[in-house]
Amino acid sequence: MSKNQKHIDKSKLSLLKKVMNILIPEVDDLPSAGLLITDEKILELLYKYNKYFSSFNKFINAIRLDLNCRASGGFESLDYENKEIVLKELEQNIPEIFNNILEMTLLAYYSNNKVLDRINWKRKTLQPEGWELEKFNPKILDKIKLREPFWKEI
């Protein structure tokens, strides 16, 4: 599906960000995920990957149809604990869709520079630098080398 065919309703996007706030709450001086992640980042992922786009629409519909949400005037009107309860139910009832929404949230959150600075993850691209480890030291084999062969001879 092309970008032009993927229509994304602003009210749905706003609701998704409210969900993201519960999935990853604020910490230290960082706001919760829905406040930190930009619309552009979410749209980038939704346009790029059909699995997120199709889960997004199904997920928002499921939230809007949820009885607790409807009884309270929408997800936004619930208190924190009840928002958690609604999301846990959705996680259980529509696990694949929920996991795609969670994965998209984590991708967007943990690619944000402020988050990466906070967790001290400086190596965004693993190549070409890689990492360094000390060379293998055969002394570590001293004990196990004393063991007699124990594979089963046929």
Partner 1 sequence: MVIQHDPTDILIIGAGASGAAVMWDLSKAGFKVVCLEQGSRIHSDKYPVNYPNWEELALNDWNYNPNIRKNSSDYPINTENTAINPLMFNAVGGSTIHWTAHIPRFHPSDFNVNSIDGIADDWPINYWDLEPYYDKNDEMMGVSGINGDPANPKRSKRQMPPLPLGNDGELIANAFDNLGWHWWPSDANVNSIDYKGRKACNMCGPLGHGCPRQSKASTDITYVPYAIKNGAELRVKARVSKIETNNKGKVTGALYYDKDNNEHFQPANGIVLAMNGIGTPRILLNSSSNKNPNGLSNSSGQVGKNLMFHVYANAQGIFDNIKETYKGPLATIIMSQEFYESDKKRGFYRGYTFQMNRGMGGPIHVSKSIDWGKDHHNEFEKKFGKSLGLGICGDDLPEESNYVELDPILKDSNGIPSPKIHYKVSENSRKLLHHGLKNAELVLKEAGANEIIKSEHDSEAGWHLMGTARMGKDPKSSVVNENCQSHDLENLFIVDGSVFVTGGGVNPTPTIQAIALKTSDYIIKSRTDLKS
Q: How far is the CB of 31 from partner 1 (least distance, A)?
A: 13
Q: How many residues bind partner 1 (CB under 8 A)?
A: 51
Does 141 help bind partner 1 (rule: CB under 8 A)? yes
Q: How far apart are CA 81 and CA 94, in angstroms?
A: 20
DSSP, collapsed to helix, strand or coil, labels residue 12 as helix
Q: Tell me: does residue 40 bind partner 1 (CB under 8 A).
A: no
Enumerate residues 77-96 that contact partner 1 by CB under 8 A.
Answer: 84, 87
For 32, left (φ over 0), alpha (ψ -120 to 50), or beta?
A: beta
Contacts of 145 (CB under 8 A, 6+ apart): none
Give strand ranges (E) for the chain.
none
Binding site for partner 1 (CB under 8 A): 22-25, 27, 45, 48-49, 51, 84, 87, 102-103, 105-107, 109-111, 115-116, 119, 121, 124-138, 140-141, 143-145, 147-154
